[in-house]
Structure 1
Amino acid sequence: MKKIILSAAFLAFAGLTAANATEVKEPLAITVKQDSTTKVPVELADLPEAVKATLQTEPVKQWTPTAAFLVTNADKTSYYHIDIKKGDETAAVKLDKDGKPIKS
């Protein structure tokens, strides 16, 4: 009797395994959103004059520029991202080519 119950249990398990093995699942769709923004380093001396002038106005002139980047978005708009430092504090400003602040 034990052999019959074990055989039945084995056949039931094998049947479930076979059913799961032949089950077809839908393929998983993977979507990747690429960030088309480019960030190119720019020498501080090579910044446009309007941007340099804005950096010399209040309250920004109290900060020291440490690095600058030209950021170009996917829609071809661009701005200058300038890292600034005052003592232990760090921040960044975003200015267009005319030296006007960009709102994030």
Structure 2
Amino acid sequence: MKTPTHLTELPHPEPEELALTQVLFALSDPGRLEIVRQIADGPMEMAQCLCDPSMPKSTKSHLMKVLRESGIVRNEPFGRGRLLTLRREDLDARFPGLIDAVLKGEG
């Protein structure tokens, strides 16, 4: 079976669809919060994301899905992988100061 060389676009919520409860839920998990901290300074390839090396691939995929569906990250095709970007502008417009407060928190 041949592996496809193209990646599909994934659905992302529109900025006006971002819900505070979903964003807070996504940020409540230490693994997801760590991913957000890693991409806070700029985009990162999903494969380079430093999650726990013993973490199953399915768990990492689930973490990424929750972050994307909550509107915290944009997950886009990038070559043979995916690029993660923090949707800081959208989040700051919808929930001013939230991401900065979360990123400055001690966790």
- For Structure 1 versus Structure 2, the TM-score category normalised by the shorter chain is under 0.3
TM-score by length of 1: 0.24
| Bigger radius of gyration | 1
TM-score by length of 2: 0.24
| Higher relative strand content | 1
